[in-house]
Amino acid sequence: MAIIGAIIGAGTAIIGGFASKKAADNAAAAQYNQDVRNEQYAWDETLRTFDFIKRGNQITRQNNENLFGYQDATNLNNWQDQMKIADREDRMNFSAYNKSLQQYDSQLSFNNVALVQAQQAERTKFQEAVAEMAFQSQNNTISGLQEAGAAQARGVSGRSAGKELHSVLASAARNQAIIAESLVSANKNFGQTMSKLNNEKYGADLQAWSNVMVTPEKAARPTAPLKSMRPIVQDPRDPVRGPAPVKGAGGSVIPGIMNGVATLAGGFGINSSGQIKVKTG
C-alpha cells in the first residue's frame, strides 16, 4: 500500500506539474500579450513625445526669429535714421560753408569797387588841387610881369628902379616857391592817401576772409548694426526602440515538474545493499 501510495503521490505530483506547466504557459502567453501591448504603447508614447518636443522646438525657433528679426529691423531703421541725420547735417554745414565763400567773394568785389571809387575820388581831388596850383602859378607869373611892367611904366630909373624890380621878382618867386611846395605836399598827401586806401582794402579783405567758415568735415557715421545672434535650440535624439518582449521570459514550468519528481523520489529509499525500499513513515 505504501508503494502504491507513493506511486500515486508521485503521479499526482507529475500531473500537478504538467497542470502547472499549462497554467504557466497560459500565464506566460497572457503576460507576453500584455508586454507586447505595453511595449507598443510605450513606443507610441515615445514617438508622440518626440514629435511634441520637435514641434515645441520649431515654435521656439520661430518665436526667436520673430523677436530677433524685429530687433534687427528696429536697429536697421535706427541706423538708417542716424545716417539720414548725418547726411542732413553735412548738407547744412557745406551749404553754410559755400554761402560764406559766396559772401567772401561778394565782399572782395565790394572792397575792390570801393577802393577804385575812393582812389578815383582822391585822384580827382589831387588833379583839381594841381590845376588850382597851376592856375595860381600862372596868375602869380602874370601878376609879377604886370607889376614889373607897371614899375617900368612909372618911369623909375637907376638904382631905385632896380630895387623895385628886384622886389617884384622876389615876391613872384616866393609865391612860386609856395605853390611848388604846396604841389609837393599835395603829391605826398596823395601818395599817402592812396597807400592808406590800399591798406584799408587789404584789412577789409582779411576781415572778410575771417568770416569764412572752416571747411566742414563729414559727420561721423554710425557702424551698421550687426545681426542678432539666434540661440541654438537642440532637438532630441531620434528615439530608438528597445528589444521586443520575449514570450516566456517572465517565468518557467520546469520548477513545478522538478517538484513532482522530487516528491516521487522522496517516496523511495535505498538500503545499504543498494536495494530500493519504500519509506512508510
DSSP for residue 277: E
Mean pLDDT of the region 252-258 = 42
Mean pLDDT of the region 120-127 = 88
Instruction: State pLDDT tens for residues 221-240.
Output: 999 999 999 999 999 999 99
Assign 253 a pLDDT band (cuts: 50, 70, 90). Answer: very low
Residue 210 is placed in which grid cell?
575771417
Q: b or e along 132-148 (b: 16 or more beta carbons within 10 Å of the residue's beta carbon)?
A: ebeebbeebeeebeebb
Residue reference for cell 577802393: 115
What residues contact residue 165 under an 8 Å CB cut-off, 6+ apart?
148, 151, 152
Q: What is d(CA 264, CA 13) in angstroms, rounded to the nearest whole number?
A: 7
Q: What is d(CA 140, CA 146) in angstroms, rounded to the nearest whole number?
A: 10
Res 207 pLDDT > 80: yes
Res 216 pLDDT > 50: yes
Please tell me the predicted confidence (pLDDT) of residue 165. Answer: 54
Please give the mean pLDDT across all residues of the chain. Answer: 79
Instruction: State pLDDT tens for residues 63-120.
Output: 999 999 999 999 999 999 999 999 999 999 999 999 999 999 999 999 999 999 999 9
Domain chopping of the chain, boundaries: 2-220+258-278
Please tell me the predicted confidence (pLDDT) of residue 239. Answer: 92
What percentage of residues in the chain have a pLDDT greater than 70?
Answer: 69
DSSP for residue 217: P
Mean pLDDT of the region 126-153 = 69
What percentage of residues in the chain have a pLDDT greater than 90?
Answer: 49
Q: What is d(CA 206, CA 198) in angstroms, rounded to the nearest whole number?
A: 12
Pairing of strands 276-278, 268-270: antiparallel
Assign 151 a pLDDT band (cuts: 50, 70, 90). Answer: low
Instruction: State pLDDT tens for residues 42-54.
Output: 999 999 999 999 9
What residues contact residue 102 under an 8 Å CB cut-off, 6+ apart?
none
Range from 123-127, 201-205, 263-267 carrying the lowest mean pLDDT: 263-267
Please tell me the predicted confidence (pLDDT) of residue 272. Answer: 45
Q: What is d(CA 241, CA 47) in angstroms, rounded to the nearest whole number?
A: 10
- pTM of the model as a whole: 0.53
Range from 113-122, 123-132, 191-200 carrying the lowest mean pLDDT: 123-132
Q: What is d(CA 138, CA 129) in angstroms, rounded to the nearest whole number?
A: 14
- Nearest residue to 184 (alpha-carbon basis) of 97, 264, 99, 126: 126
Please tell me the predicted confidence (pLDDT) of residue 64. Answer: 96
Please tell me the predicted confidence (pLDDT) of residue 261. Answer: 38
Assign 12 a pLDDT band (cuts: 50, 70, 90). Answer: low
Q: What angle do the packed helices 2-153 and 254-266 form, to 10 degrees?
A: 150
239 neighbors 50 (Cβ within 8 angstroms): yes
